Chain A
Amino acid sequence: MKFGVIVFPGSNCDHDAYHVISKHVGQPVDFIWHKQTDLSEYDAVIVPGGFSYGDYLRCGALAKFSPVMSAVKDFAAQGKFVFGICNGFQILCEAGLLPGALIRNKNLHFICKHINLKVENNHTPYTSEIDSEQVLSIPIAHAEGNYVCDDETFHQLEENNQIVFRYCDETGEITDQANPNGARSNIAGICNENRNVLGMMPHPERACEGLLGSNDGRGIFRSLAKAIESISN
């Protein structure tokens, strides 16, 4: 099993993701510079958070033209795992690997705080190790996390159980007050129909050490490792 963490100019959560994979998942991991086009040795790639290309034009809009992204599209089409976190989620939406878009937070603020997250679907490769009743405490850090999509896309997401995470209160209730950024239907993370591509605005890689306030992100990475293991066997 081998993980890759893609590095664009302006990525800044790449080292956090690398640290979590090597230390808490205990698996080999490489940084992948965005000009690389061969992903054949990897089972999963993480598209990390940050400000790829300085967020110029739109968040993630220029990263989708990086050479590595054609390889990521082929990689995803082969059923391999592509996990976008924060700016990575924005990039996957811009690249068309996930539906919808992420626009400016409703209140215009850059929001950096722990939020509560409900796992709406724990039958995905990213959430299988998480109890469906558990409320995860994971930080967000973004100014453009307001998920939008048209009605047709939204109904498809619901019908196919592609909404994986929603913002909730500490008891797990999905409320307007618990929605930090105005995202449609409190959506914090979605997957594609095949379940191998996932994007989420919260940062689970920042919630894997008790010292940082929460361990709740570990379940996501461990689920992914288990999914890769079960495919390899």
Chain B
Amino acid sequence: MKAKVYVTLKPSVLDPQGKAIHHSVELLGFEKINEIRQGKYFEIALDATLSEAEAKASAEKIAKDVLANPVIEDYRVEIV
């Protein structure tokens, strides 16, 4: 079983790296790109003996306590 964790900056937090990437994308000629924000993606391999609910609970806790800083970031967990 695998958990996918997406960590993104809260909308209120400035993302200068995303802005720089957006600028480069515009230089390449892409149009109508309103904004690019950079985030982090994690894959967590979980033991198959765990139920989906247990796996989700573990991954959520890992995301909350380690992967994301709740002061500046949000996170989303998917179990696949």
Contacts and interface: CB of A to CB of B under 8 A. Distances in A.
A17 to B, nearest CB: 25
B14 to A, nearest CB: 7
Interface stretch (B25-33, B51-59, B65-73): B65-73
A104 B69 contact: no
Contacts of A150: 12, 71
B20 to A, nearest CB: 6
Contacts of B11: none
18 contacts: A57-B67, A61-B69, A93-B71, A100-B71, A101-B69, A101-B72, A103-B9, A104-B16, A105-B16, A106-B16, A108-B16, A108-B17, A108-B20, A148-B14, A148-B71, A150-B12, A182-B14, A182-B16
Interface of B: 9, 12-14, 16-17, 20, 66-67, 69, 71-72
B74 to A, nearest CB: 13
Counting from the closest, the 7 A-B pairs by CB-CB distance are A101-B71, A101-B72, A108-B16, A104-B16, A106-B16, A101-B69, A58-B69
Nearest to B9: A103
A107 interface: yes
Contacts of A216: none
Interface of A: 57-58, 61, 65, 93-94, 99-101, 103-108, 146, 148-150, 182
A143 B13 CA distance: 16
Nearest to A105: B16
A61 B71 CA distance: 12
Contact of A104 (B12, B17, B66, B67): B17
B30 to A, nearest CB: 21
B66 A61 contact: yes
Contact of B72 (A57, A103, A105): A103
Nearest to B13: A148
B69 A94 contact: yes
Nearest to A102: B72
A105 B14 CA distance: 10
Contacts of A149: 71
A57 B63 CA distance: 12
Nearest to B67: A57
B16 to A, nearest CB: 5
